[in-house]
Structure 1
Amino acid sequence: MYDVIVVGARVSGSSAAMLLARSGLRVLAVDTARFPSDTVSTHYLHQAGLSRLQDWGLLDTVIASGCPPIRHLNFSYTDIALQGFADPIDGIDAVYCPRRTVLDSILVHAARESGAEIIEGYTVRGLITEDDGRVVGIRGTSAEGGDSEFRARFVIGADGANSTVAKHVGAQKYEESPGGCFVYYSYYSGLDWGMQHRTGFGEQQFASWPTNDDLSLVAVMRKRDRLKDFRRDADGGIQQIISAVDPAYGEEFRDMGTRVERLRPMSYPDNFRRESFGNGWALVGDAAYHKDPFTGWGITDALKYAELLSQRLIEGLGGARPLDEALAAYQAERDAQSAGTFELTKSISELSLTPYYDSVFRAASKSPEYTRKFFGLIAGGYPGEEFFAPENLAELYATVGLPADDRHLVPA
């Protein structure tokens, strides 16, 4: 009999398992994968996420994996360019983009070292419930083909946007909005571009950042309605988009870049939040709250809210406060803390800026002070309510001399 079973052992699941085990709870985490293994991902870890790893004693391990530090970021939206970096957060002056084969293995190992039991190659087929509907365990199948079940006081679903746990408990989505784009990416040698996040005219974007093994992840995005045509020649499509956004980078990509692994397509699920707690269960990570990959906040949020859920669950299971109250606080706090990121991601991931965001980012690009605040916002170290405060934007627009007709203070 376990205290907690975690379904899914990647970023959010292994983090929750580790933190709960460190608190003295008996924890089991299961995953269909075996580690190390890959999964579709942006790789990007914001300073706010790295801060969590630092507090947990794992950041040095990520750095020691050979993942290079990034201390300069390049963002552009058509003719708007923002270059720079955020001020340090908790002493962290760089960002990292580790391969998921690296990051997930580090977290799984840390969970085991903390006392959690991890079963790899295990597929959950259903949940065990009592007569009152309370979830008290899981049943599933191992990779070797044997059926088994495990029981616990509580079950966490950390099993992604298509969560089996969410399906079985009937967790409802809210704040839904359709995903706008598809993504193709792979790993390339021969490029030294640092971190690029470049959106061009014609609703197309390319991005690149360095990762492990002296490779660069190069990704492109376009609207979903272009996917069928793109698939016919994905390599050619990638080249075409990079060249269209920046011809100089396109030429270098053609002459110097060598793809070393298969292409990974992503047609992301829609943006949503889910009801994230109930009678004996909770959700975390993409199972609970999913958004477009454009702003790269998936991993960072998975770390942040795995910690938040663990804290509230420890309070509830330990008797410090009623369990339902603690879990309701988890969902409410998560929604409040992530509201700015969620709305910003939904607004700018369409590959075209609304007049409001065009005004804000165009003006910010003309102000060194506000450019620094922009990178602080991206890093999780500068509050969105201050960055987008109408009175602050009005002062910014006046300072940089933005035309009066372009001075949008609030979203339409």
Structure 2
Amino acid sequence: MYDVIVVGARCAGSPLAMLLARRGHKVLVVDRATFPSDTVSTHYIHQAGLSRLQDWGILDRLVATGVPPMRHLNFSYTDIFLEGFADPIDGIDATYSPRRTILDEILVDEARKSGAEVLEGFTVTEVIFSEGRAAGIRGRFGDGPEQEFRSQFVVGADGRNSTVAGLVGAEIYRSVPAACFVYYSYYSGLDWEFQHRTGNDPQQFGVWPTHDNQHLVAVMRRRERLREFRADIDGSFQEIFDQIDPVLGDDIRANGKREENFRAMSYPDNFYRRSAGPGWALVGDAGYHKDPFTGWGITDALKYSEVLAEKLHEGLSGARPIDEVVAEYTKIRDAESNGTFELTCSLAELSLTPYYDSVFRATSMDREYTTKFFGLISGGVPGEEFFAPANLAALYEKVDFPADRRFLTKS
């Protein structure tokens, strides 16, 4: 009998299991994958996410794998250019984009070292209910016989297409249609800083360094252009660079060498699912999923797995009823993630609203506010502060932004 069974052992599940096991709870983690293994991902971890790894004693281990630091970021939205970096967060002055084969294996290993039991290659087929509450799981290794494990609580950390969410009937209560598709691969031969460039048409490319002296190179276009893109993937991929920044387009053509096959990301709609019920909860993309444009998936998985771990510990220790306290986790997550969700959904349209155009255009004219912009991106500056009407009014006055182009509120 386990205290908690966690289904899914990647960026949300393993940290949750690790944190609970460190508190003395008996935890089982299962995943249908075996590690190390890859998965579709932006790879990017913001400073706010790295801060969690640092607090857990994992960041140094990740850095020691040779993942390159990034300390200068380049953003553009058509003719608006923002370059720089955020102020340190908890002493962290860099960001990293590790390969998931490396990051996830570290997280799984840390869960094991902390005392959690981890079963790899195990596929869940059923969530067991007893007296109306989730009470365990059934599943199997490969084609083997079905096995059953019992627990006080079950958590689905199994991604946006969560099996657990389907088995417990967790409905989506907020949804925003996905706007774009993504293709990406890994290139050697590039000597580029982080690039996140959105151009007319609309379309976007992103490039950032990862392990093995390679860069993750990604492009985005609107979904309605997917068939056209697929007709000539190599040509369409190159075309986006040529149209947004011909200099970088020439460089990737001359010096870039694609090292792996292209990977396609055609995500489902952005959503929030009901993420707590009698004896169960959802964490990571299983409960809250958004477009990869802002790269917040890993960071949010780390952040809210910690929140859920605290609430589960409180309930398991008998301080308060466990379902009651876990319901608070969803309220915290929804409140704290709302700004990121809304910003991501808007920016992922690949065309700025008049409001965001005016804010980012004025921001690009002031070094101090540009640093705040990167603080917003990194998780160090709250959206309520960055977008506060009084702060924006002061910015517009400082940079002498035309009055007829100011939009002090989103409405």
RMSD: 0.8
Taking the aligned partners of 1:69 and 1:320, their CA distance within structure 2 comes to 42
CA deviation string 1:82-134 (max 9, x = no partner): 0000000000000000000010000000000001111111110111111x321
Consecutive unaligned residues in structure 1, runs of 5 or more: none
Report if the CA contact (8 A) 2:179-2:349 is conserved. Answer: yes
Taking the aligned partners of 2:50 and 2:334, their CA distance within structure 1 comes to 21
- Is 1:114 the counterpart of 2:114? The answer is yes
Taking the aligned partners of 2:147 and 2:228, their CA distance within structure 1 comes to 45
Aligned to 2:38: 38
Distance apart, 1:325 and its partner CA: 2.1
Taking the aligned partners of 1:26 and 1:322, their CA distance within structure 2 comes to 18
Aligned to 1:73: 73
CA deviation string 1:308-331 (max 9, x = no partner): 000000001111122122111101
Distance apart, 1:269 and its partner CA: 1.1
Distance apart, 1:400 and its partner CA: 1.0
Taking the aligned partners of 1:250 and 1:146, their CA distance within structure 2 comes to 54
CA deviation string 1:361-391 (max 9, x = no partner): 0000001110010001111001110100111
Taking the aligned partners of 1:153 and 1:19, their CA distance within structure 2 comes to 17
Aligned to 2:19: 19
Aligned to 1:260: 259
Report if the CA contact (8 A) 2:279-2:323 is conserved. Answer: no
Taking the aligned partners of 2:353 and 2:47, their CA distance within structure 1 comes to 27
Aligned to 2:348: 349
Taking the aligned partners of 2:231 and 2:7, their CA distance within structure 1 comes to 37
SS of the equivalent of 1:44 reads coil
CA deviation string 1:186-243 (max 9, x = no partner): 0000001120000011110000000000000000000001111111221111100011
Report if the CA contact (8 A) 2:165-2:286 is conserved. Answer: yes
- Structure 2-normalised TM-score? 0.99
Aligned to 1:62: 62
Counterpart of 2:10, as a letter, is R
Taking the aligned partners of 2:142 and 2:213, their CA distance within structure 1 comes to 34
Report if the CA contact (8 A) 2:51-2:90 is conserved. Answer: yes
SS of the equivalent of 1:302 reads helix
Taking the aligned partners of 1:267 and 1:397, their CA distance within structure 2 comes to 38
Aligned to 1:199: 198
Aligned to 1:146: 145
Consecutive unaligned residues in structure 2, runs of 5 or more: none
Distance apart, 1:145 and its partner CA: 2.4
Counterpart of 2:291, as a letter, is D
Taking the aligned partners of 1:97 and 1:255, their CA distance within structure 2 comes to 24
Distance apart, 1:404 and its partner CA: 1.3
SS of the equivalent of 2:12 reads helix
SS of the equivalent of 2:345 reads helix
Taking the aligned partners of 2:3 and 2:354, their CA distance within structure 1 comes to 51
Q: Which moved more, 1:70-79 or 1:340-349?
A: 340-349
Counterpart of 2:52, as a letter, is R
Distance apart, 1:340 and its partner CA: 1.1
Taking the aligned partners of 1:334 and 1:252, their CA distance within structure 2 comes to 42
Q: How is 1:328-343 mapped onto 2 (pairs within 5 angstroms)? A: 328-343=327-342
Identity of aligned residues (%): 67
- Is 1:105 the counterpart of 2:105? The answer is yes
SS of the equivalent of 1:11 reads coil
Counterpart of 1:117, as a letter, is E
- Is 1:187 the counterpart of 2:193? The answer is no
Q: How is 1:320-335 mapped onto 2 (pairs within 5 angstroms)? A: 320-335=319-334
Counterpart of 1:348, as a letter, is L
Aligned to 2:95: 95
SS of the equivalent of 1:220 reads strand
Report if the CA contact (8 A) 2:80-2:361 is conserved. Answer: yes
Q: How is 1:156-167 mapped onto 2 (pairs within 5 angstroms)? A: 156-167=155-166
Counterpart of 1:145, as a letter, is G
Aligned to 1:210: 209
Aligned to 1:379: 378
Taking the aligned partners of 1:9 and 1:383, their CA distance within structure 2 comes to 30
CA deviation string 1:25-79 (max 9, x = no partner): 1110000100000000000000000000000000001101110000000000000
Distance apart, 1:175 and its partner CA: 2.0
Aligned to 2:285: 286
Taking the aligned partners of 2:189 and 2:268, their CA distance within structure 1 comes to 32
Taking the aligned partners of 2:72 and 2:119, their CA distance within structure 1 comes to 40
Taking the aligned partners of 1:61 and 1:146, their CA distance within structure 2 comes to 38
Distance apart, 1:399 and its partner CA: 1.2
Counterpart of 1:158, as a letter, is A
Counterpart of 1:66, as a letter, is G
Aligned to 1:230: 229
- Structure 1-normalised TM-score? 0.99
| Aligned positions, number | 411
Distance apart, 1:254 and its partner CA: 0.5
Distance apart, 1:144 and its partner CA: 5.0
Counterpart of 2:30, as a letter, is V
Counterpart of 1:256, as a letter, is N
Taking the aligned partners of 2:117 and 2:145, their CA distance within structure 1 comes to 18
Taking the aligned partners of 2:305 and 2:162, their CA distance within structure 1 comes to 16
Taking the aligned partners of 1:162 and 1:408, their CA distance within structure 2 comes to 38
